[in-house]
Structure 1
Amino acid sequence: MNTLNYVQILFCLMIMFVIILGSLLNYFEKYLPIFIVQIYRYGKFSYTGKSSFIKPIQVPKAWFRHFYVYSTILVPATLCLTIASYYFNIEIPHWIIYVLDLTGGYYREPAVTKNHVLLALTLLSIQCLRRFYDTQFVSVFGEKSKMDLSHYLVGFIHYTACILAILIEAPTFARSVDTFALSFNDFKLNDYIFTGVFLWACLHQYRATVILANLRKNKKGEVVSQKYQLPKGDWFDYLSSPHSTAEIIMYFSLSIILWGNITWLIIFFWVLTNQIETMLLSHWWYQETFKEFPASRKVLIPYIY
């Protein structure tokens, strides 16, 4: 009988990996094996020096689309299952409880109310559906842009873990006696505020995606260039990677809504560390590539950092 939360353990290890390897890459890159640098860097800030005799397995960066095909099926399906369970008393399939026991431990306790679980899944579904639309119909991926296979696999692990993190500590899905009732009285002012913050960040992430895509399109919407250009407008006037800042804001908002869910909090710290490292690499790349890069643009927080 499993008593360990393997989702928490796995993502704590992933956080440590990003912090340690990211720090080494940021400050001691020239001393690292080229193979390691090639694995970590991808896209516009990919490694362009002499290749190692050990070549990482790479896939097209356009395969990012696959994450959102997967999550667009997984997350709304989980929301539908949760609604069926909470509102219509449909029994949860035993294999799902078995998977939750296996990954999150047998003695699981609910940490949030049913309404908070439904709200979090609804917002996450909106995000996944919107990102599906972005990657299928808006984004323009470089024809030669690659990423390491590990980045590709982590995308699927991430969205699977998001669902597990919510359900592991959700009423009915946990093994303790379900004493939670559906009541809008469960919602407090901060839930409404951070729902609004989530949607606000989601909107600006979409705007950032459109701005980046338009750099490679003409006025008719036709792709006419594969070159990287300096984006301008909306949050790009203040930040190098506003889409990443928006991602952090959205996951932070979900952490407030799911307050008490420790597994989800660890997922948030994973997103935070991973996105900050990506933002730093992107910021430095913009500074090195474009002489006209505005000195006022920051990495994470406008006017501050």
Structure 2
Amino acid sequence: MRKRRFIYHVMKTQKEIQYLVWRPTTATKFTGLFLPYGKLNITADKPQSPLGHWLAQLTVPKSWFSHFYIVGFAFALESCIEIALLLLWQPTKNFSKAGGPILTLVRTLDTAQGSTHIEPEFCVLALVLMTMHLGRRVYESLCVERPSRNARMHISHYATGLGFYGAMVVATWIEGAANLGLWNSDTTTVMAWKKAFAAPTILVRTTLAVALFAYASNHQHTCHHILASLREKRSGYQIPRGDWFESVVVPHYLADILIYFALCILHGFGNWTLLCGLVWTIVNLSITADETEAWYKTTFDDRYKKAFPKGRWIILPWVY
């Protein structure tokens, strides 16, 4: 019940944020202050009050985006190690009473109630996929992407990003933690995994989730290379072309949404924590995508219209 109440408050807060952001009387006060970053600050509404101006100065370099993925990747690797030890050594060494810092913290602050409806094999697979995703994003942010040295983002955006990826790592396994044997040493943690994966519906679900994850990851990687190639030309801002950019304004954001959607498929849409993360991702990236579309139109004007005479979907094809 405690998890359910927590998820309820998260979703309620999310709705309040959406209402706050989209209200006509408050949109210019908050979206222009906290949400835009990098080049989007050029066209974003500027705060009007002295307090707003002061708050707007609390920024960090946009290149610090890489910290999100570095911290998240380190957190994911530590989770993999601790859960692997829990699964492999628990039957003989009662590892459930020990553990590393992550499992110890969860065991101390949480209970087994509400952590039994996700099978352990899907917890492990989701964690592995999330680790692969964050590892790729670390590589891209350090070796592929070319953020402007002058680009900035608000410190609140930075703090939220640091917390979000750590939370999503935990979300991949927290609702099946009891099945992993986190609280009870006398558990059937080492289950008949082959039997679980052999069930036709589960096999289809797993195959679909992994295929969508790989598909979205590949296109996101391609789109990041396209954006980075524009920086290498050093001829000012350009309109990205190729791959999903031909039909979507921010295809790398679309890929991000599909990756979290794939994880939700893997858990049969029964993981409320991941579902909240998916909703959060859709709402926040959609707002930024809308700002990006406005920036393209303002910056390139007729060139943009000629490049895409039929227009493009902003972020979600056939939806938005």
TM range (shorter): 0.7 to 0.9
Of 287, 307, 312, the match for 1:297: 312
CA shift at 1:4, angstroms? 5.0
Which structure's residues are more often helix, by fraction? Answer: 2
Corresponding position of 2:86: 85
Q: Does 1:283 align with 2:293?
A: yes
Q: Does 1:107 align with 2:86?
A: no
Matches of 2:160 and 2:72, distance apart in 1: 13
Corresponding position of 2:260: 251
Matches of 1:103 and 1:267, distance apart in 2: 21
Taking only the aligned residue pairs, the percentage that are identical comes to 25
Name the amino acid aligned to 2:283. T
Of 32, 37, 40, the match for 1:37: 32
Matches of 1:159 and 1:7, distance apart in 2: 18
Give yes or no for contact 2:69–2:137 (8 Å, CA) kept in 1.
yes
Mean Cα deviation higher: 97-106 or 230-239: 97-106
* Corresponding residue SS for 1:110: coil
Name the amino acid aligned to 1:232. R
CA shift at 1:229, angstroms? 1.6
Unaligned stretches of 5+ in structure 1? 219-223
CA RMSD of aligned residues (A): 2.6
Corresponding position of 1:137: 143
**Structural mapping, 1:267-278, within 5 Å:** 267-278=277-288
Specify whether residues 132 and 192 from structure 1 end up closer, same or farther in structure 2 by C-alpha distance, changes over 3 A only. Answer: same
Matches of 2:86 and 2:25, distance apart in 1: 52
Matches of 1:168 and 1:302, distance apart in 2: 32
Specify whether residues 200 and 102 from structure 1 end up closer, same or farther in structure 2 by C-alpha distance, changes over 3 A only. Answer: same
Matches of 1:149 and 1:235, distance apart in 2: 31
Matches of 1:103 and 1:285, distance apart in 2: 44
Give yes or no for contact 1:68–1:131 (8 Å, CA) kept in 2.
yes
CA shift at 1:36, angstroms? 6.0
* Corresponding residue SS for 1:87: helix
> Which of the pair has the greater relative contact order for Cα pairs under 8 Å at 6+ separation?
1
Corresponding position of 2:76: 75
Deviations 1:219-248 (A, max 9, x none): xxxxx35x3221100000010000000000
Corresponding position of 1:15: 14
Of 156, 166, 174, the match for 2:162: 156
CA shift at 1:98, angstroms? 4.8
Matches of 1:5 and 1:168, distance apart in 2: 13
* Corresponding residue SS for 1:83: helix
CA shift at 1:66, angstroms? 0.8
CA shift at 1:38, angstroms? 1.7
Give yes or no for contact 2:86–2:181 (8 Å, CA) kept in 1.
no
How many residue pairs align between the two structures?
294
Specify whether residues 108 and 173 from structure 1 end up closer, same or farther in structure 2 by C-alpha distance, changes over 3 A only. Answer: farther
* Corresponding residue SS for 1:141: coil
Give yes or no for contact 1:109–1:175 (8 Å, CA) kept in 2.
no
**Structural mapping, 1:46-85, within 5 Å:** 46=41, 47=44, 49=46, 52-54=49-51, 55-56=54-55, 57-85=58-86
Unaligned stretches of 5+ in structure 2? 198-202
**Structural mapping, 1:199-278, within 5 Å:** 199-218=214-233, 224-225=234-235, 227-259=236-268, 260-278=270-288
Matches of 1:97 and 1:52, distance apart in 2: 45
CA shift at 1:48, angstroms? 6.2
Mean Cα deviation higher: 98-107 or 265-274: 98-107
